[in-house]
Amino acid sequence: MKGWTKLLLDIVMGAVIPILILNNLTRPLGAPVAYVIAALVPVTYVLADTFLISRRFNAITTYVALTAIMNGILAFWFVDGWRYALKDTAGLIVAVVLFFGSLIVGKPMFQFFIAQVVQPDTAEKARALRVLFARPEVKGGLVAATVLVGVANAALGITNFLLNLNIVTAPFGTETFNSQVAEVNAITRVTFTLVSFVAVAAAFYLAYRGLFQALPSEEGKSQFESEFWDLVRLWEQKAGPRATGAAE
């Protein structure tokens, strides 16, 4: 699925449909039922995309699927006030912990993103990628990318919490509560998706810049014209024993 198509579908399933449900089905179905259905739509979409459509199972999709499951469970935690604000921010809190926690353990989260893109499908490629990740310029790019996405999620989390705290003030189970939730969703679900998209794109730029700083160029070609693994093989040939020794 192409990037812009996926982004549009994310907005429709994560924002448009839940808002329509909250605004149009609250009265006929009752506020609690409409709220739960609206909350489960994006959860169902993420799980269906992970397990039925894309069928890509790796560290990233596992994280996304587990976050969706967490949000699905939290949908049945019927709270209001600051507890609702905290509940609605839970996914962003988990993201912040994950990204900054990966830095603490020395495995920047963005190395998993890069690995998913370049797909090392042999033991030799996986070893070469580990060697590259250990290079100072590459690791610096991965750390910078991870910090950028972590900071973006922290800023979005704070904003989301404050918006919910100040807008969603009605008691849970009322039409006003659902209307206020829809109001916040109209602000955050589209805006936050776009901000996250830009942050991840910028993070990929930082990660790839560090990666290609370590790789050579093929004669007569720019690095972007070459196949990534061809550059890796060329780098290994030029680096010799130093390439294999760096990862050990």
pLDDT averages per 10-residue partition of the chain, 248 residues: 70 88 92 94 86 71 83 92 96 94 94 88 88 92 96 97 97 95 92 91 94 84 81 82 51
Residue 104, both tokens: 């603490």
Give 99's contacts (C-beta < 8 A, 6+ positions apart).
Answer: 109, 146, 147, 149, 150, 153
Check: CB of residue 63 under 8 Å from CB of residue 98: yes
Burial status of residue 207 (CB atoms within 10 A of its CB: 0-12, 13-18, 19 or more): buried
Q: How many angstroms separate the Cα of 52 from the Cα of each of 33, 48, 49, 125, 207?
A: 26, 5, 6, 28, 30
How high is the pLDDT of residue 57? 67
Residue 211, both tokens: 């990666």
How high is the pLDDT of residue 247? 44
The owner of tokens 């922290």 is 154
Q: What are the boundaries of each domain within the chain?
A: 3-214
The owner of tokens 């994950």 is 98
- What is the pTM (predicted TM-score) of this model? 0.85
| Listed residue (80, 42, 47) closest to 61, CA to CA | 47
